[in-house]
Amino acid sequence: MNFLKRREQEKQVKSEGRLPPGQSLTQKFPVLTYGPNPPFDPQTWDFRVFGEVDTEMRWTWEEFLALPTQTQTCDIHCVTRWSKFDTVWEGVPFTEFIKLFGVKPSAQYVIAHCDYGYTTNLPLEAMMDDDVLLAYKYDGKFLEPDHGFPVRTLVPKRYFWKSAKFLRGLEFSPVDKPGFWEVNGYHNNGDPWMEERYGRRGFF
Ligand SMILES: Nc1nc2c(c(=O)[nH]1)N[C@H]1C(S)=C(S)[C@@H](COP(=O)(O)O)O[C@H]1N2
Ligand SMILES: [Mo]
């Protein structure tokens, strides 16, 4: 698509109110990972929930794949200013997932823990949206390694750094724990419609 046509299309989607402020539409699927992709071994991979839960639990890859899933189409928005429309994901809905172990009333925040130590934080309330998934398929196929294989969180209503790739665990916490990008200058909440891109250093 040439530049003028793209401009025209962007104007149209902006007038439709579907593109958050300061974003541009892309047809590509850019990759943004800090560091290398981690190795994956289906025999040793596990997924854990811990912290303020009734029962701390652990799933193997095989067990995780047996959980009920949901398929959904949504738009995604990266803080580096690209948005992608109509992305199709399949995964375990977070609201269903937490019924498996029970969340204590003291749990106010969910911290996603990934291979190599990447973390990201959100209020439990934000995770309770019906479009939040523990996603493992994109466009009907298992995630590409670059896009977070085997599992990532998908939180469409936040900038995409809040969608944690190479996910290994969820911590339910009574206190907030700003994650990798949140302590490195990104906003603690990251709502694209409010243009919450950057936080003030050391102040959230
Ligand atoms: N584990 C992990 N998750 C991550 C990242 C990362 O570096 N490591 N980068 C984040 C950022 S900044 C973005 S914009 C999205 C990018 O996802 P994509 O590469 O599938 O487009 O993943 C997020 N999740
Ligand atoms: Mo990002």
> Which tens digit of pLDDT belongs to each residue from 55-81?
999 999 999 999 999 999 999 999 999
Query: Which two three-digit tokens encode residue 122?
Result: 């959100």
Dihedral sign computed on CA atoms, order 169, 172, 175, 181? positive
What is the number of other CB atoms lying within 10 angstroms of the CB of residue 20?
A: 17
Amino acid 5: pLDDT = 73
pTM of the shown model: 0.94
Q: Write down the pLDDT at residue 29.
A: 97
- Ligand 1 atom 1 nearest Cα: 165
Residues with Cβ within 8 Å of 135's Cβ and at least 6 positions away in sequence, in order, are 89, 90, 91, 143, 148, 151, 152, 153, 154
pLDDT at 1 (0 to 100): 63
Omega of the bond leading into 150 within 30 degrees of 0 (cis):
yes
Q: Which atom of ligand 1 is nearest to the CA of 30?
A: 21
SS3 92: strand
Instruction: Tell me the ligand closest to 26's alpha carbon.
Output: 1
Smallest CA separation from ligand 1 atom 5, residue = 33
Cα gap 128→122, rounded to integer Å: 10
Q: Residue 201: its pLDDT value, please?
A: 55
Give the number of the atom of ligand 1 that is nearest the alpha carbon of residue 80: 14
Task: Give the pLDDT score at 179.
Answer: 98
- Sequence-ordered list of residues with C-beta below 8 angstroms from that of 166, at least 6 positions apart, any chain: 37, 38, 114, 115, 116, 118, 148, 149, 150, 151, 152
Centre of ligand 2 to C-alpha 54, Å, is: 33
Which pLDDT score is estimated for 7?
72
Domain boundary assignment for the chain: 3-194
Residues of the chain with pLDDT under 70: 1-2, 10-12, 14-15, 200-204
Q: What is residue 204's predicted lDDT score, i.e. its pLDDT?
A: 46
Q: Ligand 1 mean position to 117 CA, how many Å? A: 13
pLDDT value, residue 159: 98
Does CATH place domain 3-194 in 3.40.718.10? no
Nearest CA owner, ligand 1 atom 21: 31
Spell out which residues line ligand 1, taking CB within 6 angstroms.
Answer: 30-34, 78, 114, 118, 146-148, 160-161, 163-166, 181
